[in-house]
Amino acid sequence: MNRLTDIQHFKSEFFKALAHPMRIRILEVLSEGDRNVNELQNILGSEGSAVSQQLAVLRNKNVVSTIKDGTSVIYSLRDPLIKDLLAVAKQIFDNHLVDAISLLEGIRNEQ
């Protein structure tokens, strides 16, 4: 593979790792600080197996990193820029929402 193909492959795999609502939520929580599985379960209001399964995907794709703290495993964002990426995604969503609201208001005003 050449360098351009390597970068495209990395991006593809990275975005696949983000392609689940719970994984996005986990990353949002981790962007506020490191957490163990129990803390994530409580914050997400989800059972352990679901959270652990999604954390495994994020870990395997090198999106989160772990450190052992006694009997607990602490999860953190591997790259702090992920927090910025999530903020940009929210801005894009907000822009789409504003466009949709404007469109609906225009339709309503025509009626």
Q: Is residue 24 part of a domain?
A: yes
Average pLDDT over every residue of 24-32: 97
Q: How many domains does the chain have?
A: 1
Residue span of the structural domain in which 24 resides: 3-79
Contact 31, 63 (CB under 8 A): no
User: Please, what sign has the CA dihedral across residues 94, 15, 50, 81?
Assistant: negative
Within a domain: 51: yes
Percent of the chain past pLDDT 70, that is, above it, reads: 99
Examine residue 59 and state whether it is found in any structural domain, yes or no: yes
Report yes or no on whether pTM surpasses 0.75: yes
- pLDDT tens by residue, 43-70: 999 987 999 999 999 999 999 999 999 9
- The answer to whether 63 and 38 have CB atoms below 8 angstroms apart is no
Q: What is the largest CA-CA distance in the chain?
A: 65
Task: Say if 109 falls within a structural domain.
Answer: no
Which domain CATH number covers 10? Answer: 1.10.10.10
d(CA 55, CA 73) in angstroms, rounded, equals 11
Cβ pair 51, 22 in contact under 8 A: yes
60 domain-assigned: yes
Q: Classify residue 105: in a domain, yes or no.
A: no
Q: Is residue 89 part of a domain?
A: no
Q: Does 29 map to a domain?
A: yes
1: confidence class by pLDDT, cuts 50, 70, 90: low
